[in-house]
Structure 1
């Protein structure tokens, strides 16, 4: 099961790299998307490993440590995604307002 998940993750990363190679104009947005995808993949792998550890070793201390680690990882990922989305929204709004106010556009590439 873990090997299947790892193979799927590798395939997704290869597809993302192919997309990056084909679209060089919007590098930064694509890089942000790739970073978010990699973070999500890492979180999924960590969660799978954590679940396996909980199933294999059912001890109170291990479960508490695992729960704390999972919560910290999830909070960090949520903060990262919120920051990325906020930056993209700020760029889009600035560019949209710039057309009306004659501001220079923010180019993500």
Structure 2
């Protein structure tokens, strides 16, 4: 298991009962026990990538749920309008479809913006890890 605190303090990033194994985040082998010189920075990158993937998956799931809720609301509105105002049902359906398409496009736009922001944050974190070296 990766211990990110140990990585930042200069340990190997691997939890053990005897403490850190001595590798620094910069891969310079700092510490008494040596070992793979790059293991900590690789572990940190793996942690960052895993967190970014989890965030992207959550964002996509939320976007899909929002789209499903919007679709259900639109279907309910169309059903109610058909019952209440039969004469203008075509106009209502066209209006609802246009609104639905616009809302879906806005949701997709928000998802894209969030994914881009997450990717930029991931890159900044990766650059920060390299800068520590």
* Larger Rg computed on CA atoms: 2
Structure scoring higher RCO (CA < 8 A, sep ≥ 6) equals 1
TM-score by length of 2: 0.42
